[in-house]
Chain A
């Protein structure tokens, strides 16, 4: 879906540098909440993108992770919202209360051996190096990784990254290309921002011949 998370090219968010901008997180619960969401599978990208746009834009990074995990856990039927309310009450009333403890040695071992994402070999690439490609105009329903600011813009294939499973689509893999765009084609010529180049990796289905 084209949600509030798709921020590329938007205006009005102010300067990048802020007094606490160098920190990785503010409070100790934040990183732990992200990890709980990651490991339980409750806070994947689609769940974060499914947050109400108003909530997305007014929540901090880690609150988005927490809210997405809560909503996905309840939506998927894994837990009841009454479970969350009950535990919240326990921790609000008793400063010494802690979450229950469970052990999963196999999972600990799995985490210790986590490796990088690996691309598959490309068997048949539709587009060749140097070929001009246009980003399709679309209104995708599910999870995808094709930012709005690229739609309809023509670029050039800079590299074939490899084959990768398509975001939001089960069990389908296809070539991913690094595509090179010019700033003039993306945002038009501007006096205050001299021309530059933008590169991004895009799945084959996001592209067409111009």
Chain B
């Protein structure tokens, strides 16, 4: 989604489509920014800074780095499970929506994260949530029929595995520590991080 240029502060309104004909919602978004800037209620460079942060500086590669480190460093893993926020800060990862608790998948337990009231998500570790995470279908169903939802993601777990659904509706953000795939003993941390998918850190995916 971020292939467009960031050559000036207004590139977010400059899609080829919008040059031909701006949509009604785009016109209203531009009008809202213009009116708020005009009244001194928000500044252009602050908007640009935050957009750049959300679009470019956060993302699931940070979460993957944390997971890979936890797989190869048992002491780090323990610190991560004890105090997620402090442990990810060791790797230089911090920021808004980053008060983190990490929950571990094992052979007996599978964790799944949702926010039923809005779309709370651990931004510094995973970036912006995908559209399905914000959908009414996921928000309504994950707490009521997690196995049916997981099946739609191609995840079918043995009946004896305990599913734990985390409705992250307060100020803690949850990250799933997925199980390490087998036959990965000789991989480096970077190579391991490359195996970790975003969905495996939400709980809608497992790693093979």
Contact = CB atoms under 8 A, between A and B. Distances in A.
A122 interface: no
A70 B31 CA distance: 10
B18 to A, nearest CB: 7
Interface in B19-61: 19, 22-23, 25-47, 49-51, 53-55
Contacts of B107: none
Interface of A: 5-11, 13-18, 20-25, 27-33, 35-42, 45, 48, 57, 61-63, 66, 69-70, 73, 78-79, 83-88, 90-92, 95, 98-105, 107-108, 111-112, 114-119, 145, 147, 149, 161, 164, 176, 178, 186-187, 192-194, 196-203
Contact of B29 (A33, A115, A203): A33
B131 A201 contact: no
Interface residues of B, number: 91
A119 B85 CA distance: 11
Nearest to A107: B46
Interface of B: 1, 4, 9-15, 17-19, 22-23, 25-47, 49-51, 53-55, 85, 94-100, 116-119, 124, 127-132, 134-141, 143-149, 152-153, 159, 162-172
Contacts of B153: 16-17
A31 B12 contact: yes
Contact of A36 (B1, B33, B55, B143): B33
A145 B144 CA distance: 18
Given A24-B127, A164-B170, A15 B143 contact: no
B147 A193 contact: yes
A41 B137 CA distance: 28
When A and B form their complex, which 5 residue pairs have the shortest distance between CB atoms, in order from nearest? Answer: A8-B116, A104-B43, A201-B170, A21-B132, A116-B98
A32 B47 contact: yes
17 contacts: A13-B136, A16-B141, A21-B131, A27-B17, A61-B131, A79-B36, A84-B31, A99-B34, A99-B37, A105-B45, A111-B53, A115-B98, A116-B97, A118-B99, A147-B167, A192-B145, A198-B166
A91 B28 CA distance: 9
Nearest to A35: B50
Contacts of B51: 31-32, 35
